[in-house]
Amino acid sequence: MKLQVRSPKHDREVIEIPVKAAELSSLFNGTIASPKGDEYPIKNNIIDLLPEEKSYSMAQSTNHWKLTASVYEDLWRKRSLSLLTGEEFPIEKEQELLADWINPQPDKWYLDVGCSTALYARTLKKSEPKSHHVAVDFSKVMLEEARIKAEAEQLDLFLIRADGRNLPFFAGTFDGLSMGGTLNELTDELKVLYECRRVLKSDGVFFMMHLVKAASWYWRLFQDSAEWGGLQFWSVEESNELFRRAGFKVEDQFTKGIVCFSKLRPS
């Protein structure tokens, strides 16, 4: 099924992305354009809708490093929740929760926002192979790593380079959204959440994992230093207020250590 996106330069103009771009077993290169003539490249299946570089925080900038992309999932992501929750929390447990809360359905569309290596999109595609998935990130190297992992797992995904502050999709495009850890890195978190609400259907679901303010002094020392690098932390109450302001309500939620999982619905 073709994916329709909106032009980054002309909000009302439709750009069609060919299905072959999502077929990661075969390299696909080309150019797409809106009726207004603005063009965007596809290189190795990655659709670049962010031709101009944006300003990023120090924390966000590290995601542009090839080393970060290569070790992110296998060395950090698979162990991070056990470290951050203070108990055994394998990545498979997070994936089970994601699949349970999103509950992907055949022929429906799902978006992984700030996808990094597209762990969430890949997990949901495995859960329901007939569902359609789009993974968005601003980092080329992260998307390149996502492509490698999805190809190895024989999964088809649309991989798009874009800015979460201006998602290149029309209102109500997606049946479900997911975001894993990205919220803490954002410099304009409310704007990104507004965009997420805009592209989610009125009966859609949003899976959110982020870090909250620590209660223990040693984790607070870590968070205080991390804030200098551009990371942000909120209490659960403050996080929920952010969600409310962006047009979401919390349907389910729990915390482990400084990790918070939220199941959000449009309010």
Tell me the pLDDT tens digit for each residue of 149-178.
Answer: 999 999 999 999 999 999 999 999 999 999
What pLDDT is stored for residue 58 in this prediction?
A: 47
Q: What is the DSSP letter of 160?
A: E
Spatial strand order in the sheet of 174-180: 30-33, 39-43, 46-48, 158-161, 132-137, 109-113, 174-180, 200-211, 259-266, 248-256
pTM for the full model?
Answer: 0.88
Query: What is the torsion angle, in degrees rounded to the nearest 10, for the CA atoms of residue 240, residue 123, residue 108 and residue 132?
Result: 130
C-alpha R_g of the chain: 18
Tell me the pLDDT tens digit for each residue of 13-47.
Answer: 999 999 999 999 999 999 999 999 999 999 999 99
Which two tokens mark 214?
A: 């620590």
Query: For 158-167, b where at least 16 C-beta lie within 10 A, e where not — what string?
Result: bbbbbbbbeb
Considering only CA atoms, which of 102, 112, 115 is closest in space to residue 72?
Answer: 115
- Higher per-residue pLDDT: 143 or 56: 143
